[in-house]
Amino acid sequence: MSGPKTNERPGTRARVSYVRTSAYKAREILDLIRGKSYGEAAEILAFSERGISHEIAKVLDSAVANAEHNDDQIAEELFVSACYADEGPTLKRWRPRARGRATRIRKRTCHITVIVSRYDDAILQRLQEREEATGRGQSNQAAEARRRRVQQSRERDEAAEAEEHDHDHDHEEPEPSVEEKAAEIVAATESALTETAGSDDEYDAETADSDDDGAVDAADESPFGPLSHGPLEDPQEMPDGYPIKGNADSMKYHQPDGRWYENTVAEVWFATTDAAEAAGFTEAGTKTEPDESADSDEGAGE
């Protein structure tokens, strides 16, 4: 009775698909490592002169890593129980030849599979006795010690990662939305307006002239009243509580939801629209000045 099929053999496997080489070339190297221990197979592949040996070595290392991580096995106790290469799709290319003819070029591909299994206890006992006879009996003990150290290191890393994850979630605060930021600006503006209305101090032009140039202009800190603010070092940076942009040349102000707000370089900032209109500014987009409208109303009343 025949044994199990090659693709149904027990063990831990690794597979690489669509390798750009022929299955014939891969099988020549796979025949050399079949039945060898992991150490012997890795040594054969390392000193092989065939280019496919590098790909097979990576598949072998992947199979051993799967056995260590998933099945808790020791690398020194594993051997290559099965390895085979299946033919993959062939890429067709053409090469020009003499007299207007063409020759087909076939670029072969293959799928390489390596299966590793653990030696039987009897075989491991014989191997251990052989190593002790040759003075290398400490290899299994060293491998077991290394396996324990790796397991402990993984447990420490997982515990540290879990603790850091919990710590980040405990102290992590959600970033405020645009609506919340706008609400904060409005609250700060109302607070500043309330403080100004409750105070008995009047606007002093000499106090507003902070740069001592003899004139109140956009370069001052509060050039157009107590609810105005001069530009910062970055003209596009908004002072806290002053969301309205003003242009001192055109005497226009722009609200945050205005059409030209983003394209306007602020020469002065205002806390409220009332403060901007009190300073003589009009909203961008309107053609009627406040003074002219007032004069027209008075004329109509007369």
Averaged pLDDT, 25-48:
93
Q: Would residue 133 count as lying in a domain?
A: no
Residue 26, pLDDT score = 95
Phi-psi category of residue 11: left, alpha or beta, with phi > 0 → left and psi -120 to 50 → alpha: left
Q: Would residue 159 count as lying in a domain?
A: no
Sequence letter at residue 131: E
Backbone φ and ψ for 48, nearest 5 degrees, come out as -80, 145
Whether residue 21 is predicted with pLDDT greater than 50 in this model: the reply is yes
Backbone φ and ψ for 81, nearest 5 degrees, come out as -80, -30
Are 64 and 72 within 8 A, CB to CB? no
CA 110 to chain centre: 35
Residue 164: band (very low, low, confident or very high) from pLDDT cuts 50, 70, 90: confident
Whether residue 207 is predicted with pLDDT greater than 70 in this model: the reply is no
Q: Would residue 60 count as lying in a domain?
A: yes
Does residue 295 sit in the same domain as residue 191?
Answer: yes
Instruction: Kindly state the tokens that stand for 79.
Output: 């051997």
Q: Would residue 128 count as lying in a domain?
A: no
CA–CA separation, 274 vs 184, rounded Å?
19
Residue 89's domain is classified under what CATH number?
3.90.470.10
Does residue 194 sit in the same domain as residue 111?
Answer: no
Q: How much is the mean pLDDT over the chain?
A: 77
Residue 31: band (very low, low, confident or very high) from pLDDT cuts 50, 70, 90: very high
Does residue 207 sit in the same domain as residue 115?
Answer: no
CA–CA separation, 81 vs 12, rounded Å?
10
Paired strand residues for 13: 115
Does residue 106 sit in the same domain as residue 187?
Answer: no
Q: Would residue 152 count as lying in a domain?
A: no
Q: Would residue 19 count as lying in a domain?
A: yes
Last residue within a domain, chosen from 92, 119, 146: 119
Residue 208, pLDDT score = 46
Range of the domain at 22: 6-119
Paired strand residues for 244: 270
Paired strand residues for 117: 79
Q: Would residue 72 count as lying in a domain?
A: yes
Highest mean pLDDT among 146-160, 185-199, 224-238: 146-160
Averaged pLDDT, 82-99:
95
Q: Would residue 147 count as lying in a domain?
A: no
Residue 60, pLDDT score = 95
5-14, 123-132, 203-212, 220-229: segment of lowest average pLDDT: 203-212
Pairing of strands 282-283, 252-254: parallel
Q: How many distinct structural domains can be found in the chain?
A: 2
For residue 292, what is the enclosing H or E element?
Answer: helix 290-301
Last residue within a domain, chosen from 119, 141, 167: 119
Last residue within a domain, chosen from 103, 119, 135: 119
Residue 153: band (very low, low, confident or very high) from pLDDT cuts 50, 70, 90: confident
Residue 288: band (very low, low, confident or very high) from pLDDT cuts 50, 70, 90: very low
Does residue 201 sit in the same domain as residue 294?
Answer: yes
pTM comes to 0.45
Residue 179, pLDDT score = 62
